Amino acid sequence: MEIQEINGRKNAPFSHACLRSPDASFKVLGMQKHQAKTPAFEFFGTRKRRVRIIDQRYLPHRLVVQELKCFDDAVASIRDMQVRGAPLIGVTAAAGMYLASQEAPLKAAAFDAFMQKAARRLKAARPTAVNLAWAADLQLKTLGSAGQAAEKKARLLQAARLIAAEDEACCRQIGEHGLALIKKIARRKKNKPVQIMTHCNAGRLAAVAWGTATAPVYAAQAAGIPIHVWVSETRPRNQGASLTAWELGEAGVPYTLVVDNACGHILQEGLVDLVIVGCDRMARNGDAANKIGTYLKALAARAHRVPFYVALPSSTVDWTLPSGVGKIPIEDRGSREVVAMTGRCGKNKIQEIRLAPGKAAAKNPGFDVTPAALISGIITERGICRPSQIKKIFKDRL
Ligand code: MRU
C-alpha cells in the first residue's frame, strides 16, 4: 500500500483532536483505536482551518490524501467522488461553504449572493444524498443576515467543525445501538460468529468516523463479539470490493467478498443473521434510497426471513418528502461505469478496461429505493425503531 499526499505534507500524523467529542463512551466500547487510522475527512493546521480528505478514487490500491484548498476543490471532490457516502458528502459540503466564504466579496449583499450561489453549486454536485442540501442550507442559516464578512466566515468555520463532530458522534451512537442488536444474536448463536451482510460502503470512509452500517460492526468487534461480514462488491463502481473490503481489512474485521449476484444464494443458504446497509436519503415514511442493489437484497432478505436494517444519522432523513418510491431523485451516473471497469493492472498502474461491445447501450441508476415495508428496523443516533416510527423519535425535526 502506497501512501501519498497530493498537495499537502507527506505522511503527517493525523490528529482528530478538533472533532473529538468529550463523551466517555469511546472508552466503554474500546472503539478509540480506530482513531489512529487516516481520517476520511479532517480539519488540520495550527488553527484547524484547512481541510483534507482521502481521495477514495485510488483505494484500495493507493492511500492518497488531498487538501481541499478552495471552493472549486470542494465541489469537485463531491462531484468526482473523491469523497462519497451521504454523511461525508454533507460534512464536505459544510466545509466547502466555509472555503467559499474565503473567496466571497466583502460587501454584505455581494457576500450573501456569492454564498447563495455557492450553495446552489454544491447542491447540484450530486442529487441523491440529502445530507448535501441539508449541510449547505444549514450553512446558509448559520450565515444569518447580520454581521461583517469576517464574523460570518468565523461562524461558517465553527459550524462546519460542529457538523463534522456531530457526524462522528451520531455514527458512534449508531454503533452503540446496533451493538445491542448484534449482542442478542450472539447470545442466540452461543459464540459462533454473527454473520452480517452489507452493501456498498457505508463505512468509516463514508463518514467522519465509524461509518453508519459498519459502526455496529466496529462496536461488536471492540466488545469482543465474534463477527464476520459478507461484503457485496457493488457494481458498477465497486464500493464494496474497493472500500468496504479495504476498511474492514484495515480494522481487522473478518470479511468475505462476494459478487452482488451471490447475495440471494447466500441468504437462502442461511449464512446471514442480519443485513445492515446505509442510506442516502430516507423519506418520512421510512422508504430508503441507498446504493443500487440494496432493494434486491431487501427482497431476498424478506424472502428468507433475515432481518434487514438501515443505519443512518438523522441528517439523512428528508423531512420534506412524505414517501420515497418514485419521489427521491435518483442519480443517473451515465454509461461508462457499466460498460467499463477500473482496477489495478500489474504492480502500480490503475487502468480502465472495457467490458461491453463498443456500441452497447447502458443505463446506470446510482441508487434504488427500498420500501419501508421491507425494512425490519432503522438504526439512528437516537436508537432503533421501525421505519414508520422515525417521525416519532425525531418529532422535534418536523
Ligand atoms: O455513490 P456513493 O458511494 O456516494 O453511495 C453511497 C451509498 O449509497 C452507500 O451505500 C451508503 O449506504 C450511503 S452513505 C453511508
In the predicted model, what is the mean pLDDT of residues 128-138? 98
Cα of 279 vs centre of ligand 1, distance in Å, is: 7
Q: Which residues contact 146 (CB under 8 A, 6 or more apart)?
A: none
**Ligand 1 within 6 A of CB of 132:** no
* Alpha-carbon dihedral angle through residues 310, 313, 317, 319, given to the nearest 10 degrees: 140
Distance of CA 362 to the CA centre of its chain: 26
The pick from 214, 217, 263, 290 for probing ligand 1's pocket by mutation, whose C-beta has the most ligand atoms within 8 angstroms, reads 290
Atom of ligand 1 nearest to the CA of 89: 4
Atom of ligand 1 nearest to the CA of 278: 12
Instruction: Supply the pLDDT for residue 18.
Output: 26
Instruction: Supply the pLDDT for residue 145.
Output: 78
Q: Band of the pLDDT at 147, cuts 50, 70, 90?
A: confident
The grid coordinates of residue 335 equal 454509461
**Ligand 1 within 6 A of CB of 366:** yes
Is 8 a residue whose pLDDT tops 50? Answer: no
In the predicted model, what is the mean pLDDT of residues 374-393? 97
Cα of 148 vs centre of ligand 1, distance in Å, is: 38
190: left (phi over 0), alpha (psi -120 to 50) or beta: left
The pick from 212, 238, 291, 364 for probing ligand 1's pocket by mutation, whose C-beta has the most ligand atoms within 8 angstroms, reads 291
Cα of 344 vs centre of ligand 1, distance in Å, is: 22
Distance of CA 286 to the CA centre of its chain: 18
- Residue 331 φ then ψ, to 5°: -65, 130
- How many Cβ atoms from other residues are within 10 Å of residue 147's Cβ? 14
DSSP string of 64-98? EEEEE-SHHHHHHHHHTTSS-SHHHHHHHHHHHHH
- How many Cβ atoms from other residues are within 10 Å of residue 288's Cβ? 31
Residue recorded with cell 454564498 = 115
Domains of the chain: 2-166 (1.20.120.420), 174-397 (3.40.50.10470)
Name which of 7-21, 79-93, 258-272 the model is least confident about. 7-21
**Ligand 1 within 6 A of CB of 159:** no
The pick from 53, 77, 84, 315 for probing ligand 1's pocket by mutation, whose C-beta has the most ligand atoms within 8 angstroms, reads 84
Is 155 a residue whose pLDDT tops 90? Answer: yes
The residue nearest atom 8 of ligand 1, judged by CA position, is 291
* Catalytic position from the list 280, 287, 318, 368: 280
**Ligand 1 within 6 A of CB of 280:** yes
**42, 207 in Cβ contact below 8 A?**
no
Tell me the Cα Rg of the chain: 20
**Ligand 1 within 6 A of CB of 286:** no
Atom of ligand 1 nearest to the CA of 203: 15
**Ligand 1 within 6 A of CB of 281:** no
Cα(146)–Cα(89) distance, integer angstroms: 28
Atom of ligand 1 nearest to the CA of 86: 14
The grid coordinates of residue 265 equal 444464494
Using the Cα atoms of residue 369, residue 371, residue 377 and residue 381 in order, give the sign of their dihedral.
positive
The grid coordinates of residue 237 equal 463502481
Q: Band of the pLDDT at 4, cuts 50, 70, 90?
A: low
**282, 312 in Cβ contact below 8 A?**
yes
Cα of 240 vs centre of ligand 1, distance in Å, is: 10
Q: Which helix (H) or strand (E) holds 296?
A: helix 294-303
Q: Which residues contact 3 (CB under 8 A, 6 or more apart)?
A: 10, 11, 38, 62, 63, 65
| pLDDT above 90 coverage of the chain, percent | 88
Cα(132)–Cα(121) distance, integer angstroms: 11
- Residue 7 φ then ψ, to 5°: -135, 30
Q: Band of the pLDDT at 398, cuts 50, 70, 90?
A: confident
**Ligand 1 within 6 A of CB of 214:** no
The grid coordinates of residue 235 equal 457494481
Question: Is 280 a catalytic site residue?
Answer: yes
Average pLDDT, the chain: 92
The stretches of 198-282 forming alpha helices (DSSP H) are: 215-222, 239, 245-251, 263-268
Where in the chain does DSSP place strands (E)? 2-5, 41-44, 50-54, 62-68, 194-198, 227-232, 255-258, 274-277, 281-282, 288-291, 308-311, 340-345, 349-354, 367-370, 377-380, 383-385
Name which of 43-47, 144-148, 295-299, 319-323 the model is least confident about. 144-148
Q: Band of the pLDDT at 20, cuts 50, 70, 90?
A: very low
Atom of ligand 1 nearest to the CA of 312: 15
